[in-house]
Structure 1
Amino acid sequence: MTPDVIQVRPLPGYVLVVQFASGECRRFDMRSLLRYPAFSALQDEALFRRAHVEHGTVVWTDEIDLSPDMLYLRGQPVDVADFSIQEPLHPMG
């Protein structure tokens, strides 16, 4: 079972860094998804930067979200310490 997302940080270039309840962090590149109608609104960088966590899932609006499964299985493992000098991750809301 995939762990829930507990924190998310949107980065330039339509990249998300997410931390899971297991303590693992993964980097997920959203660019390939932006061509699909369900995610096309995220081409607006201001909207993309509003990514946050609700109920273990990354969400932007009531209609746009990403499952923890996709983020975990397709994301690249990263060390959370690599991002410690940048702005803090957005915690669960």
Structure 2
Amino acid sequence: MIKIVQATPPPDNRISLVFSDGSFGELDLQPLIDRNTELTEPLADAAFRNRFFLELGALCWPNGLELSAASLHQRLRSTGHLRTVEAA
């Protein structure tokens, strides 16, 4: 089971993620922000966006928004933004 082992606060709407398999990439949060739902709207605020934490390998925020490591890993891989140590 893949987990997020490290997440670095974004200077913009991107967040750097490192996964338990050694792969890594930058997640663009703008598509989530653009959804403008009750859970994603607070991400537009940089102070709130930076309050993320990791829980059981998932990327979470205090309002209950939780993004699974597997879905983020797949999203980054399918868009060509997932890197491995060999490819770095």
* Shorter-chain TM-score tier: 0.7 to 0.9
Structure 1: which amino acid aligns with 2:60? Answer: V
Kept after mapping to 2: 8 A contact 1:58/1:68: yes
Runs (5+) with no aligned partner, structure 2: none
**Which has the bigger relative contact order, CA under 8 A and spacing at least 6?**
1
RMSD: 1.8
> Normalising to structure 1: TM-score of the pair?
0.74
Kept after mapping to 1: 8 A contact 2:7/2:15: yes
Q: Runs of 4 or more off by more than 6 Å in structure 1? A: none
Runs (5+) with no aligned partner, structure 1: 81-93
> Normalising to structure 2: TM-score of the pair?
0.77
- Is the counterpart of residue 77 in structure 1 residue 82 in structure 2? yes
By percentage of residues, which structure has more strand?
A: 1
Aligned CA distance change for structure 1 residues 4 and 43 (closer, same or farther; 3 Å): same
In 1, distance between residues paired with 2:57 and 2:6? 9
Kept after mapping to 2: 8 A contact 1:59/1:66: yes
